[in-house]
């Protein structure tokens, strides 16, 4: 046989084999895609609900977002006003994990007796809901809820709603996988939100899904020596030789460790001390004041509520209207400019700078 004929036949056989291989993989991909189902749950702050589902074998993808309202294209700034709820949408393979398993994970993350929100997050946008995508999910959700009610695990009635799924809107990218993008801030928030304390009491075996407070080693790895000295050892940085004493940009100041909002540039003034000074906190609930009798005098120390970071001191020699001077250490703060508020999840404060 002519060698060219042999070559052509060989090429043809290879092409046929490749086609069979590609066709088989395409059919396999279609089969896998068709087997993936969707589940949607609302359990308060979606940052806290997302991680536990991601750990489950058979879960293909978890996306946080908004659902249940009437307004189109909600954002983090207006989803509550449009009637939406914070949710997680879970894509899962039922041949590997069951919807029943997902329901079990869901119940172990929430307080199903709270109709006014979840833990520290209050309001209807944080209430617990199971959004079903078909009649079978509706039936299983109702049976699961009834079973939990009958177990008498909780002293109060189970108020978690079971509603038909509606249009799901994916949340902004900075909200996706927040626990991995901002691990220390997430863990501080969750640790102090009240969620873990409740779950520990309600579920003896829930500890594996709950983050622990960051260790001293983790803090040392994250913070600069000066930041660690100030926040963890009640230190004081040098006057006039710190990052924000003369910062005049518009924005807010958050805790360097936890990211909790503390002060606004709108309340910042030049005190002449060489440290950033403010007339009042942006979020008074994020501030803790304690008596400080060190240095042979009585002062009022200021700490952040969640991270317990030492921030500085407050004095009664400030300007009007408060007459107070919150004298802070730059090393305990992180400045977020107005232009970055949205991507930091702090867009709700933008209106302060548009007046």
Helix or strand (DSSP H, E) at 197:
helix 195-202
The token pair at 194 is: 């009240």
* pLDDT higher than 70, residue 207: no
CATH 3.30.565.10, domain 35-182, yes or no: no
Rg (CA), the chain: 27
What is the per-residue pLDDT for 187?
84
Residue 69 CB neighbour total at 10 angstroms: 20
Chain mean pLDDT for the chain: 87
Give residue 19's pLDDT band: very low, low, confident or very high (50, 70, 90). Answer: low
> Is 48 one of the catalytic residues?
no
> For the domain 217-353, what is the CATH code?
2.170.150.20
Domain boundaries, the chain: 35-182, 217-353
Q: Which of 42, 45, 306, 328 is catalytic?
A: 45
What is the rounded CA–CA span in Å between residue 227 and residue 172? Answer: 30
> Quick one: average pLDDT of 326-339?
96
Give residue 2's pLDDT band: very low, low, confident or very high (50, 70, 90). Answer: low
What is the rounded CA–CA span in Å between residue 174 and residue 344? Answer: 7
What is the per-residue pLDDT for 12?
59
Greater confidence (330 vs 202) lies with 330
> Quick one: average pLDDT of 144-149?
88
* pLDDT higher than 60, residue 206: no
> Quick one: average pLDDT of 288-301?
87
> Is 45 one of the catalytic residues?
yes
Residue 347: φ, ψ to 5°: -60, -20
* pLDDT higher than 60, residue 212: no
What is the per-residue pLDDT for 188?
81
Q: Which of 39, 324, 327, 333 is catalytic?
A: 327
> Quick one: average pLDDT of 250-256?
95
Question: What does the pLDDT look like over 41-69, one tens digit per residue?
Answer: 999 999 999 998 988 888 999 999 999 99
> Looking at residue 115, what DSSP letter applies?
S
3-state SS class at 289: strand
Residue 168: φ, ψ to 5°: -95, 130
Whether the full predicted model's pTM is greater than 0.75, yes or no, is no
What is the per-residue pLDDT for 323?
95
What is the per-residue pLDDT for 29?
41
């Amino acid at each position: 046989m002519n060698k060219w004929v042999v070559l052509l036949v060989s090429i043809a056989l290879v092409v046929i084999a490749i086609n069979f291989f590609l066709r088989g993989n395409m059919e396999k991909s279609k089969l896998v895609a068709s087997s993936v189902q969707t589940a949607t749950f609302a359990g308060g702050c979606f940052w806290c609900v997302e991680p536990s589902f991601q750990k489950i074998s058979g879960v293909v993808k978890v996306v946080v977002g908004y659902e249940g309202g009437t307004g189109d294209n909600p954002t983090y700034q207006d989803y509550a006003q449009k009637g939406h709820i914070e949710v997680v949408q879970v894509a899962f393979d039922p041949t590997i994990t069951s919807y029943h398993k997902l329901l079990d994970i869901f119940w172990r993350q929430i307080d199903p007796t709270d109709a006014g929100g979840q833990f520290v997050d209050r309001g209807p946008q944080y209430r617990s809901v199971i959004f079903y995508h078909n009649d079978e999910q509706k039936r299983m959700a109702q049976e699961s809820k009834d079973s939990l009610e009958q177990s008498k695990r909780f002293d109060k009635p189970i108020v978690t709603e079971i509603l038909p799924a509606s249009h799901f809107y994916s949340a902004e990218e900075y909200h996706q996988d927040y626990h991995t993008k901002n691990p220390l801030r997430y863990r501080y928030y969750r640790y102090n939100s009240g969620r873990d304390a409740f779950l520990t009491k309600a579920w003896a075996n829930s500890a594996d899904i709950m983050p622990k407070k960051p260790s001293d080693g983790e803090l040392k790895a994250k913070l600069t020596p000066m930041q660690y000295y100030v926040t963890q050892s009640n230190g004081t940085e040098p006057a006039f030789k710190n990052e924000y004493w003369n910062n005049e940009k518009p924005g807010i100041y958050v805790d360097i460790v936890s990211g909790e909002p503390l002060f606004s540039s709108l309340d910042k003034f030049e005190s002449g001390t060489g440290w950033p000074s403010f007339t009042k906190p942006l979020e008074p609930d994020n501030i803790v004041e304690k008596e400080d009798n060190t240095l042979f005098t009585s002062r009022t120390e200021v700490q952040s509520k969640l991270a317990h970071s030492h921030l500085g001191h407050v004095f009664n020699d400030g300007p009007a209207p408060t007459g107070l001077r919150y004298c802070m250490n730059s090393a305990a703060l992180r400045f977020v400019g107005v232009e970055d508020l949205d991507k930091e999840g702090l867009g709700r404060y933008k209106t302060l700078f548009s007046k």
